[in-house]
Amino acid sequence: MYLEIQERVRERFAKVVQEMFAVAIAEPVLDIPPRPEMGDLSISSCFELARQLRQPPQKIAEQVLPRLLPLEGVERASVAGGGYVNLHLDRAGIAAALFSLRSPRPATQPSSRGKILIEHTSINPNKAAHIGHLRNAVLGDTFVRLWRFRGDQVEVQNYIDNTGVQVADVVVGFVHVEKKSAAEVERLLRDPAVRFDYFCWDLYARVSQLYEQDKEMLALRLEALKAIEEGRGEMAKIAALVSTAIVRKHLETMRRVNVAYDLLVQESEILRLDFWKCAFELLKRRGAIRYETSGKNSGCWVMSLEEAGPGEAGQEIEAEEVKIIVRSNGTATYVGKDIAYHLWKFALLDKDFGFEEFHRYPDGHTVWRTAVDGRPGAPAFGRASVAYSVIDTRQSYLQKIVGAAFRALNYPEQAANLHHFAYEVVGLSPRCAEELGIKLSADERERSYVEVSGRRGLGIKADDLIDVLFDLKEAMTFEGETGPYLQYSVVRGRNIFRKYRESHPELSPGAAEDPSDLVPPEQLNSLLSGESGQNFWELVVLAAQLETIVEQAIATAEPSVLAKHVFRLAQAFNNFYHRYHILSEPDPARQNFLLCLVRLASDTLSRSLDLMGIEVPPHM
RNA sequence: GGGCGUGUAGCUCAGCUGGACAGAGCAUCGGAUUUCUAAUCCGAGGGUCGGGGGUUCGAGUCCCUCCACGCCUGCCA
């Protein structure tokens, strides 16, 4: 609704400016005025034009103003604040449209953008998920939901590093500390009395201690790593058992916060299906990497990160910035494997995975997993036109290298469509850590956060989407900017309808109960004017802005934008709820109107909550 | 040393490509309900936007510089 009006305003404004001043204006900037009574939309472009036209902004605005209207959806316009053009929207028209629109969604227009591939979660499969992982998954999942809301085709991938150091360490633990065979590990993970993911976590911690006490033990890690990479022997068998079992635990955990996936991409297949070999050949052939025969990187294949042309080189003999892609022992570094994976995402690799069904959610949705020997019937995974990697900010450098590799391979377009959605690492506040029973050193207590290692405590609130610091007390509260506050708003709205139906049993669910049929359009105008009209209108405006907010959240890769907006809507609704008593309203037309507002607000709220994966309980 | 990021109220953070009086939540203090669930609502106090320069009609926002902190700069991921 808002999107269309904004588009019309932009177009008209640009056209008028073009006609009057013969100046082309790229994209007129629309804002929301600071106070609602000033209007619903404002154009600040006259300030910009003032420079070009050498006229005061106020004068330009006054000249443009009369030619802006009539415009569908806009009732009147005014000039204020020394050059702003403020637009007052057609309240009755918009309200009427929204009352009938919001509940049955308008058909989303199919997007021409192609497939959006979003990779998130990507937890090492060697321990239970902790609060930081949960937050990151929720962040990624919300982003997925935003794209889907907009009507785009989205594929969700979860990268499973099942051949890496972290899994290898747990394997070392099972073999050398626990002295267990693969068969015994299998028995253990089938034992319902054992929480296998936590068991592995403890084991992982014990192995880390082992390394610290005796550096010689690190040789065990290398041994395990090699066996796992080559996929042979008892160790590889244990690695596969561990990672598969833990991934199942992760899927369960994520399901509880309504996070789902389409495909699990395993590193083992990247290795075994020679994805890397293929990418390596490509990199060599296109000269993106070179073999070092001398210096400290002798024997390695490296990629130069010099973005600048060769012209300015040689002024100073600085060490060239170089990233090792292939180690001198011939194995690929993580970046190398990541380059191969990303090439596949864009169908730039002359290879494809096999796929097998891995898990089915209660709603019937299937999660597939890569496999060496695939089964037929898998969807066409990959082949993305845009790819997002939801990964923490510490990996920014590595993500940049993947992009650089794309450019070096002469895939500038795909490089531009490769996005790193970087989030900050989650830490516990020292207070929270101590509450969880973690002993802190004096040094840690001084720090602003403690690295997450706790296993208890999960709270979902609106700004988990923006918070970096996790504090159990804060996360578990029910007041303020929290999930329960938002949920409660919806419950309150629904209660009104429940009670209303008790006294109006003739209103069965369905089209007949649509109260907007019962509010004559001419009455909408008077209901939406005056002081209370202003309150009602604010509710309508906030609801109408949902699509605009979603656009903004996607464009800035900042889902918290949505969380903030939902909170504002809930606040406005609670205020409204407090001031106007709906069921005792004597005027039937006004009561119907109020009911429409309640439904608009509560539908928009629950829809927005759904975008964040939050459900609304029937009672609170 | 280089790269990236952060620094806004006591605490945790918003502030979109520079624009109309610096915002929210929590915490503190003071109020509101014979009503559709008080998990609510209203109000108050509290900020030289890290410091200093500069660009501009206008800077929390852009540029320079300094300070503090974090991350990266591994033949770990």
A394 touches strand B (CB under 7 A): yes
Same domain, A438 and A489: no
Instruction: Give the pLDDT score at A115.
Output: 95
Q: Domain for residue A199, yes or no?
A: no
In a domain, A501, yes or no: yes
Contact of A326 with A332, CB cutoff 8 Å? yes
pLDDT value, residue A324: 92
- Between CA A366 and C1' B25 the distance (Å) reads 39
**CATH (domain of A395):** 3.40.50.620
My answer on whether A277 and A344 are in the same domain is yes
The CA–C1' separation of A448 and B7, in angstroms, is 13
Least confident span in A1-5, A426-430, A552-556: A426-430
Between the CA of A397 and the C1' of B73, what is the distance in angstroms?
9
Q: So what's the ipTM on this one? A: 0.93
How long is the CA A522 to C1' B31 vector, in angstroms? 39
Residue A513 has pLDDT above 80, yes or no: no
Residue-wise pLDDT tens digits, A566-589:
999 999 999 999 999 999 988 888
A10-19, A64-73, A411-420 — most confident range: A411-420
Helices (H), A510-587: 521-527, 530-544, 546-555, 560-579
A375 and A442 inside one domain: no
Question: What is the spatial distance, in angstroms and rounded to an integer, between the CA atom of A275 and the C1' atom of B23?
Answer: 51
Predicted confidence (pLDDT) per residue in A594-610, tens digit: 998 999 999 999 999 99
Nearest nt to A469, CA vs C1'? B12
Say whether the CB atom of A211 is under 7 angstroms from strand B.
Answer: no
**Which of A246-250, A333-337, A389-393, A438-442 tops mean pLDDT?**
A246-250
Q: Are residues A442 and A414 in the same domain?
A: no
Same domain, A320 and A393: yes
pLDDT of A62 strictly over 60: yes
CA of A620 to C1' of B11 (A): 29
Residue A71 is classified by DSSP as: B
Contact status, residue A593 vs residue A519, Cβ threshold 8 Å: yes
- What is the rounded distance in angstroms from the CA atom of residue A16 to the CA atom of residue A14? 6
Residues A543 and A561: their CA atoms lie apart, in Å, by 14
Candidate from A130-134, A190-194, A220-224, A402-406 with smallest mean pLDDT: A130-134
**Using the CB atom, is residue A464 less than 7 Å from strand B?**
no
Q: A462 and A574 share a domain?
A: no
> How far is CA A403 from each of CA A160, A279, A396, A415, A419, rounded to the nearest angstrom?
21, 14, 11, 5, 9
Residue nearest to nucleotide B76 (CA to C1'): A165
**Is A163 domain-assigned?**
no
Q: What is the distance in angstroms measured between the alpha-carbon CA of A419 and the sugar C1' of B75?
A: 27
A501 touches strand B (CB under 7 A): no
Residue A100 has pLDDT above 60, yes or no: yes
Whether residues A480 and A518 share a domain: the answer is: yes
Q: How confident is the model at residue A478 (pLDDT cuts 50, 70, 90)?
A: confident
Query: Does residue A279 share a domain with residue A397?
Result: yes
Percent of chain A having pLDDT more than 90?
A: 47
- Quick one: pLDDT band at residue A439, thresholds 50, 70, 90? low
pLDDT of residue A190: 95
Report pLDDT for A14: 87
Mean of pLDDT values over A169-184? 95
How many angstroms is C1' of B66 away from CA of A57? 38
- Least confident residue range of A165-179, A386-400, A510-524: A510-524
- Report if CB A292 to strand B is under 7 Å: no
pLDDT of residue A23: 80
A278 and A419 belong to one structural domain: yes
Is the domain of A421 the same as that of A525?
no
| Beta carbons within 10 angstroms of residue A153's beta carbon | 15
Is there a single domain that holds both residue A544 and residue A598? yes
The separation, in Å, between residue A480 CA and nucleotide B45 C1' comes to: 19
Global pTM? Answer: 0.91
Tell me, yes or no, whether A521 and A403 share the same domain: no
Instruction: Assess whether A567 (CB) lies less than 7 A from strand B.
Output: yes
How far is A603 from A609, CA to CA, in rounded Å? 10
Nucleotides, chain B, CB distance < 7 Å: 3-5, 12-17, 19-21, 24-27, 35-42, 57-58, 69, 71-77
Query: Looking at residue A510, what is its pLDDT?
Result: 42
pLDDT digits (tens, 9 = 90+) for A275-312: 999 999 999 999 999 999 988 889 999 998 764 433 33
Return the CATH number at A593. Answer: 1.10.730.10
The total number of structural domains in chain A stands at 4
Closest CA to A49 of A35, A38, A64, A70: A64
What is the average pLDDT across A117-137? 89
Helices (H) and strands (E) in chain A, counts: 24, 17
Residues A320/A306, Cβ–Cβ less than 8 Å: yes
CATH number at residue A73: 3.30.1360.70
- A280: in domain: yes
The gap between the terminal CA atoms of chain A, to the nearest Å, is 32
pLDDT at A518 over 80: no
Judge contact between A274 and A375, C-beta under 8 A.
Answer: no
Provide mean pLDDT across the span A24-43: 81
Give me chain A's average pLDDT, please.
84
A554: closest CA among A41, A101, A149, A80?
Answer: A149
Let me know if residue A222 belongs to a domain: no
Residue with tokens 């898990």: A359
- A506 in any annotated domain: yes
Identify the top-confidence range among A356-365, A430-439, A461-470.
Answer: A356-365
What's the pLDDT at A468? 43
- Using pLDDT thresholds of 50, 70 and 90, give the confidence band for residue A437: low
Domain boundary among the residues A391, A425, A459 is at A425
Binned at pLDDT 50, 70 and 90, residue A479 comes out as confident
pLDDT of residue A464: 26
Q: Provide the CA A500 to C1' B1 distance, Å, integer.
A: 71
Å between A448 CA and B49 C1'? 21
The A 167-196 residues near strand B by Cβ under 7 Å are none
Show which of A89, A107, A128 is a domain's final residue: A89
List of E strands, A152-283: 154-160, 263-266
Domain that holds residue A65: 2-89
Residues 317-356 of A with CB under 7 A from strand B: 321, 324, 327-329, 333-335, 337
**Residue A167 resides in a domain:** no
Nucleotide at minimal C1' distance from the A30 CA: B16
Specify whether the CB–CB gap between A44 and A92 falls below 8 A: no
Q: Cβ of A410 < 7 Å from strand B?
A: no
The whole-number Å distance from A95's CA to B32's C1' is 31
Quote the pLDDT of residue A600. 92
The answer to whether residue A266 is domain-embedded is yes
